[in-house]
Structure 1
Amino acid sequence: MTKALTPVVFAGHVDHGKSTLIGRLLADTNSLADGRLEEVIASCKRRGVEFEPAFLMDAMQAERDQGVTIDAARILLKSGTRQFRIIDAPGHESFLRHMVSGAAEASAAVLVVDSSEGVREQTRRHAMLLGLLGVVRIIVVVNKMDRVREPQPVFDRISAELKTLMADAGLETHAVIPAVARSGEMVVRRDGEKGSLLAWWAGPTLLDAMEGLPDEAEAIERPLRMPVQDVLKEGDRRIIIGRVESGKLSEGETVLLSPSGQTAKIAGLVAWPDDAPTAFGPGDAAGFVTESRLFIDRGEVISAVSSPAREGNQFDARLFWLADHALRQGDAVHVRLGTADALGEVLKVHKVSDAGREGVVAQDEIPTGSIADVTLRLRRPVALDDYRDDPVTGRFVLVEKGVICGGGRISLEGYQDQGAARRAKASHIHYFASAVTRADREQRTGHRGGVIWLTGLSGSGKSTLANALELALHRRGWSSCILDGDNLRHGLNADLGFSPDDRTENIRRVGEVAALFAQAGMIAISAFISPYREDRDRARAAAGEGFHEVHVSTSLAVCEERDPKGLYQKARDGVIKEFTGISAPYEPPESPNLEIDAGSQPIEICVEQLLDYVDRNFRL
């Protein structure tokens, strides 16, 4: 088993000395890589500046030029008894979203306050954000004690104010410590001589306080939670990897995967480089293989069958908002819970207040820097925990264009577990293993089974390409079939409309059917608009390695000019609601297996491109 790391985020107002404190902490515990300290000292000499311990953390050139931390940096610290993952979070208001990114993975925090400035609005804001993210154990360092005339009275006053602030934010003050980060006094070493600046302080150093943080004993008592980060392929083995957030993962036990509902028996645990563990605990980077071959995707949550994660697509939340525009009721949001991503919307804004001041803001939108009580609804069910049950898996962040713009904690009070009924119904259901394997079928047909998933706007040429491909494959004697959107809506999906939820269910069903054809050794050709990346990713997860995404990237202008069914005009006239490209979004693939522009070249060339791809990827 790997030795568990305790993730600790360092936060505080800009220029209060966070990075200097961390640099000194790393240097004085010999946690730096060989030559790192000498490298930074030499760099300072070349630039003609005085050595600054903060440069040990500030790896970005812009930070060295401006003297401000821009992004959250992470580094390993080893003390005599513990290992920590130190996260240096920016303090400037403009970089708060990076502070959120760092705090979202931490279990404790060190809040740094300049003794000459005391508690600032940004200090209050950081305390509130840490509480909302479930980082409740706080060590406060009152830094730069060498800059005040009467260190002890100043420290006592700031300490009392900080303890009140922490209590108001629902935080646990683990320790308040005076320090001089630049010289290192009370960081790792104690300069306790009679004449030293902090000789009056009898409490712990920063390192003492960090080593005294509660270990993972509390987390190991909670139910098992391990978000799946990735699946590694090593020969014939598929290794599921992730970080155990709580509970214990043991060899031989049967676990539940949520929200897919699959169960799996753990055939063996895998650790790096060559350990052979029998169990993993909180904080461990874990890997395992299952007895049966399952298609497990990033974002699934591993839990014990007896204590499963709850499932749902709606929850209440207290969140903070950091983007440079207001968040309003009805707005679309991208929610990240652990390793899972889900699209959704702000269903209801209940109350808005300012993150740095007291009082309620009387408005129905969430301005930048505000806190709000809201209800969020997602397009699909995900694994959830109430933050009161698990402060780690009960928190989330909001993302825009890959950048964290907010986050908060989940409340499931009053909500039902949507997975409970399905788990009860499926408790005696087992996968059927056919005597004829997929490999047997592929040897008979002479080609691999799989899914060709054509996605693009209405009128882009998906159906034309699908028909041409099926005809060409039939002439070769290959087994293939077309799954067309309109055809399936006459039968299997006749009960579905075109709302976002119905579109999601439509693609889910098609993805499962296409995967069954692929397992039977056939080539399933799916021609669907399938506008949401998340839905296509779910279809990819169902088919596994046999899924091939083809983006028919014909432009909206060309598609609308063609308008073979007259749908665009009806959408423009308001006759058709929620029409992709006009009144509903289309999210193009970010990394398709193949892209074909059927608007700028003859259809014959497009068919040749598609056939060439199939030849290279499906022929045995």
Structure 2
Amino acid sequence: MTSTTTPMNIVVVGHVDHGKSTLVGRLLHETGALPDGKVETLREVCERRGMPFEWAFVMDALQAERDQGITIDTARIRFRTQARPYVIIDAPGHKEFLKNMITGAASAEAALLVIDAAEGVREQSRRHGYLLHLLGLRQVAVAVNKMDLVNFDQARFEEVKAEIVDYLGSIGLSPTHVIPVAARSGANISTRAAETPWYTGPTVLAALDGFAPALPDTDLPLRFPIQDVYKFDHRRLIAGKIESGRLTVGDTLVFAPSGKSARVASLEHWGAGDVSDRADAGRSVAITLDEQIFVERGQIATHADTPPILSHTIAARLFWLGRNPLTVGARYRLKLATAEHTVEVAAIRRVIDVVDLGHHDGIEVGRNAVAEIELRTRAPVAHDSFVDNPRLGRFVLVEGHDIVGGGVIARAEGEQTGATIGSGIIPVDLHARSLANGHRGGVVWLTGLSGAGKSTIAAEVERRLFLRGWQVTILDGDALRLGLNSDLGFSPKDRAENIRRSGEVAHLLAESGLIVLAAFISPYRADRDRVRTINPEAFHEIHVATALAECERRDPKGLYGKARTGAIPQFTGLSAPYEPPETPDLTLATEGRSIEDCVTELLHYIDNTFALTAKEQAERWGL
């Protein structure tokens, strides 16, 4: 077998007390990886403490672990065979330390799942198997350990083998080998055991050597997350670690998600003698660009022909670690490479029982549960699916200062790659805003006499929509009279100009994706029609129809009383005309009705008008 100098990361997982650390300790002994005298020293320590020697003590470096007899932290130990070097990760099996197990497995290329021959496949065995699947590991060997406890019985081995092969197969994993092992004595670790003449497969070490190395990160597309930007002498250095691919002076880079591009003018390395015009994956470097463009932490530098995915939604497989359950609508911080995004849980597609692989729809995900979820962000996120590039396909969720979940990004049909950003500009059109917001933007123009209830209804509708997460704002005629339109009076000419300005502002806000609740008396039909012509499809005229007598009876601001005494000349409805809409989009009669009834009717209209269609919803979620 050809030897290589590139180490392979292997994670060892399994149910607590099934012998993972013992097996790893024995592996190190068999490969000569232990320092001279290490085993003898440990034997002496055990003898002084009056406890039997365990190979697990080679791995269990923490005093607390020796005392408690369980592995708490992940340990990373190096050894090598004739084929290649390894970094082997001994991960905790105890349920309380699953977070540590995930941390270890996340950086592995392959896995060794350990199962006690006497106890068989346990809940935690299944859970760890599923987590390997969740994290994208496809190379898995199984060691059926403690065969000495069942007298190396072939029938028992075949029973355990059938059970774990069936389970792994049901989640899309096919173990490369299932090996009968007695880690305490070293049976089938590096040499075939005389006790298992019926077994014809490889030893544990041979099975590890049979794993295929992962695709070199340099063969993947360039992913250079920006760590920070520094000003040094006259230069502006953009620093970070190349996660995959390679970067060369002269390359034209596109920064996602901004879409801006520039050429690499120089490449800076750390360390004496490190001078080169090229850097490969794994190197931390700084670059300068041939032009000054705005670049910030969290952006991803890529080549234009191999862009990442840009989307406002992320389909993910998640392992939840939070003390409080994950719920739809909850917001967290998503950390992906060097970027942080505020995300909202848009949907829980299914919650998975890792024991029997049953799944069900759910409104929450409890601690140590696995689920498939949808996350939504306001700004587009640059990412890859985990299958395509693990470096940009793995994330964690943070609440406060605690990591509460980790997962991988699934590959979803219909996701938009960054291929459209080669021009340096990502167009942000109404359609993109609608997909980001979950609704279309537009102007809801409430017209009616003073006292009809326009502002009261608008305020409550705004509150209800805001609680849903919709992007909404109010434009109130009285408020604009104090600022933008403070130079205008109440003559017909000034009234027309007041509505013209207000209409322009309303449509500008609507073009940014907002639902604009515009509450204006706007007495003249021609003025309202003029506002409609700015964008007829976005304008919706709502007549808050209340009789003059009722409005005067309400008189919430005392304006009718002042107008009757002549203190307010040209008052609409009394000394100035009001022209009701002839064909409004909705007539909202308020007399004899509660505010709740009026609000409900207007909300129903807004839902029917501005909610996304089923096709748009599918596009939004990448379905």
2:372: which partner in 1? 373
Letter in 2 for 1:69: T
Alignment of 1:282-297 (within 5 A): 285-292=282-289
Letter in 2 for 1:44: C
Q: Sequence identity of aligned pairs in percent? A: 40
1:356: which partner in 2? 355
Instruction: Report if the CA contact (8 A) 1:133-1:408 is conserved.
Output: yes
Instruction: Give the one of 188, 192, 202 matched to 1:204.
Output: 202
Change (3 A) 1:226 1:375: same
The whole-number CA distance in structure 2 between the counterparts of 1:316 and 1:26 is: 40
Q: CA RMSD in A?
A: 3.8
For residue 112 of structure 1, report the CA deviation from its aligned partner: 0.8
Change (3 A) 1:185 1:120: same
The whole-number CA distance in structure 1 between the counterparts of 2:148 and 2:228 is: 48
2:62: which partner in 1? 60
Length-normalised TM-score, structure 1: 0.60
Which deviates more, 361-370 or 414-423? Answer: 414-423
**DSSP 3-state at the match of 2:177:** strand
Alignment of 1:555-566 (within 5 A): none
The whole-number CA distance in structure 1 between the counterparts of 2:399 and 2:344 is: 13
Instruction: Report if the CA contact (8 A) 2:222-2:303 is conserved.
Output: yes
For residue 19 of structure 1, report the CA deviation from its aligned partner: 1.3
* 1:417-436 Cα deviation digits (max 9, x unpaired): 37554442449xxxxxxxxx
The whole-number CA distance in structure 1 between the counterparts of 2:277 and 2:215 is: 18
Change (3 A) 1:45 1:352: same
Letter in 2 for 1:371: V
Letter in 2 for 1:258: A
Alignment of 1:89-238 (within 5 A): 89-187=91-189, 189-192=190-193, 196-217=194-215, 221-227=219-225
Give yes or no for the alignment of 1:51 onto 2:50: no
* 1:113-139 Cα deviation digits (max 9, x unpaired): 111111111111111111111112111
For residue 412 of structure 1, report the CA deviation from its aligned partner: 5.2
For residue 14 of structure 1, report the CA deviation from its aligned partner: 0.4
The whole-number CA distance in structure 2 between the counterparts of 1:124 and 1:406 is: 19
Letter in 1 for 2:363: D
2:90: which partner in 1? 88
Letter in 2 for 1:136: R
Give yes or no for the alignment of 1:311 onto 2:343: no
Structure index of larger Rg: 2
Change (3 A) 1:108 1:255: farther
**DSSP 3-state at the match of 1:424:** coil
The whole-number CA distance in structure 2 between the counterparts of 1:289 and 1:115 is: 53
1:330: which partner in 2? 329
For residue 346 of structure 1, report the CA deviation from its aligned partner: 0.7
The whole-number CA distance in structure 2 between the counterparts of 1:48 and 1:297 is: 59
The whole-number CA distance in structure 2 between the counterparts of 1:399 and 1:125 is: 23
* 1:505-562 Cα deviation digits (max 9, x unpaired): xxxxxxxxxxxxxxxxxxxxxxxxxxxxxxxxxxxxxxxxxxxxxxxxxxxxxxxxxx
Instruction: Report if the CA contact (8 A) 2:111-2:139 is conserved.
Output: yes
Alignment of 1:546-557 (within 5 A): none
**DSSP 3-state at the match of 2:284:** strand
Letter in 1 for 2:64: A
Instruction: Report if the CA contact (8 A) 1:267-1:288 is conserved.
Output: no
Change (3 A) 1:290 1:160: same
**DSSP 3-state at the match of 1:174:** coil
Change (3 A) 1:384 1:211: same
**DSSP 3-state at the match of 2:78:** strand
For residue 148 of structure 1, report the CA deviation from its aligned partner: 0.6
2:409: which partner in 1? 410
The whole-number CA distance in structure 2 between the counterparts of 1:35 and 1:229 is: 44
Which deviates more, 203-212 or 317-326? Answer: 317-326
Change (3 A) 1:68 1:231: farther
The whole-number CA distance in structure 2 between the counterparts of 1:230 and 1:84 is: 33
1:439: which partner in 2? none
For residue 147 of structure 1, report the CA deviation from its aligned partner: 0.9
Alignment of 1:228-267 (within 5 A): 240-242=239-241, 244-245=243-244, 247-249=245-247, 253-259=251-257, 261=259, 262-265=261-264, 267=266
The whole-number CA distance in structure 2 between the counterparts of 1:81 and 1:255 is: 38
The whole-number CA distance in structure 2 between the counterparts of 1:48 and 1:311 is: 60
The whole-number CA distance in structure 2 between the counterparts of 1:36 and 1:233 is: 50
For residue 303 of structure 1, report the CA deviation from its aligned partner: 3.1
**DSSP 3-state at the match of 2:208:** helix
- Structure 2 unmatched runs, 5+: 427-506, 515-623
* 1:422-454 Cα deviation digits (max 9, x unpaired): 442449xxxxxxxxxxxxxxxxxxxxxxxxxxx
For residue 330 of structure 1, report the CA deviation from its aligned partner: 0.9
1:479: which partner in 2? none
Length-normalised TM-score, structure 2: 0.60
Letter in 1 for 2:88: I
- Structure 1 unmatched runs, 5+: 428-493, 502-620
1:510: which partner in 2? none
Instruction: Report if the CA contact (8 A) 1:111-1:139 is conserved.
Output: yes
Change (3 A) 1:113 1:332: same
The whole-number CA distance in structure 2 between the counterparts of 1:3 and 1:399 is: 37
Change (3 A) 1:153 1:382: same
For residue 376 of structure 1, report the CA deviation from its aligned partner: 0.4
